[in-house]
Amino acid sequence: MSANTSNTAESDSEGGHKGAPGSASGRSAPERSGEKAGMLRIEHSGPVAMLIMDNPSMRNAITQDMWQQFEDRLAQLEADDSVKVVVVRGAGDHFSAGADIASVQKILHDPATGQSSGGDITVAESALANFRKPTIAAIDGYCVGGAWQIAGACDVRLASSRAVYGITPAKIGIVYPLSGIKRLVELAGPATAKYLLLSGDLVDAHEALRLGLATKVLSIETLWDEVHAFALHLAARSQFSAQGHKALVNALSSGASATEVEQLSAYWQGQMAISDDAAIGVAAFLAKETPEFTWLRPRED
């Protein structure tokens, strides 16, 4: 299924590359829902929700309105106990060409400080990084500029073999938001971060995997089937275990103090004492059965 690949000059300025990959077969990428362009929409498939950046006429460039929708959409998904895993993706053939360049100064502006220090992009990235349930970035086509901050904030990044990555502030004369630089350094290391930020070069999926920007590269033919299967695989695991480990890894990677990490670990150990998931998991293992875990969210008993 093809997205409209007629792009504005603004989108090309960040993506730095014209043309679009062809369509993948297998499980279909979602088409547009008929809603207006420039939306962040949700689709459900059992325990999996897809959070879709829907602006395909601009290769899913993220408008200011779309950036501002992330926090509310994620709060909605966090409150929905039927949702176990969230897949973040773009409509049609691309993840996203990044922030809408026509309004990038407004998007980056932080009203609290009066500076262009990240603004709506940083708020959206933080909401996704702190989302307590497992998240998967399903990256097909372009993942450029500010779109990397969305992909980087997800727990797992599954890329198609035709995915194209680029972190391109040097092409338009801006300084990337600090939160995005920090995450890039954590995932790829300082030398690679400097290479990507200073050059603005695009890299293909296999190079992105080598650099630490992708978790796994999948075939075009099986991309959406494999993404869906992996999301269901995560959804079948204990949500108690998944959310506890996610919180602890995030704390360790964010520079939290040893005392803070120990307190967080003690909190989750305390939660394990009042959770049924451990008993369910052990009983199922001994009976050679598939466990049906019941934990949904922390209890403060």
Which segment of 130-134, 175-179, 287-291 scores lowest on mean pLDDT? 175-179
Chain centre to alpha carbon of residue 193: 19
Between 5 and 176, whose confidence is greater? 176
Per-domain residue ranges of the chain: 9-235, 238-286
Instruction: Strands of the chain (E only): list them.
Output: 39-45, 48-54, 85-90, 135-139, 142-144, 156-160, 164-166, 202-204, 216-218
Between 178 and 88, whose confidence is greater? 88
Banded model confidence at residue 105, pLDDT cuts 50, 70, 90: low
Q: What is the CATH number of domain 9-235?
A: 3.90.226.10
Banded model confidence at residue 293, pLDDT cuts 50, 70, 90: very high
Query: What's the pLDDT at 15?
Result: 40
Query: What's the pLDDT at 43?
Result: 98
Query: What's the pLDDT at 265?
Result: 94
Query: What's the pLDDT at 118?
Result: 64
pLDDT (average), residues 226-237: 98
pLDDT at 11 over 60: no
Query: What's the pLDDT at 111?
Result: 60
Query: What's the pLDDT at 172?
Result: 83
Which segment of 10-19, 78-87, 120-129, 215-224 scores lowest on mean pLDDT? 10-19
pLDDT at 300 over 70: no
Asked if 6 contacts 57 with a C-beta cutoff of 8 angstroms, the reply is: yes
Provide the terminal-to-terminal Cα distance of the chain, rounded to the nearest Å.
49
DSSP state of 32: P
Query: What's the pLDDT at 88?
Result: 98
pLDDT (average), residues 93-108: 75
Banded model confidence at residue 296, pLDDT cuts 50, 70, 90: confident
Asked if 205 contacts 217 with a C-beta cutoff of 8 angstroms, the reply is: yes
pTM of the model: 0.84
Query: What's the pLDDT at 7?
Result: 32
Alpha-carbon gap, residue 197 to 184, rounded angstroms: 10
Q: What is the mean pLDDT of the chain?
A: 85
Banded model confidence at residue 110, pLDDT cuts 50, 70, 90: low
Alpha-carbon gap, residue 105 to 277, rounded angstroms: 47
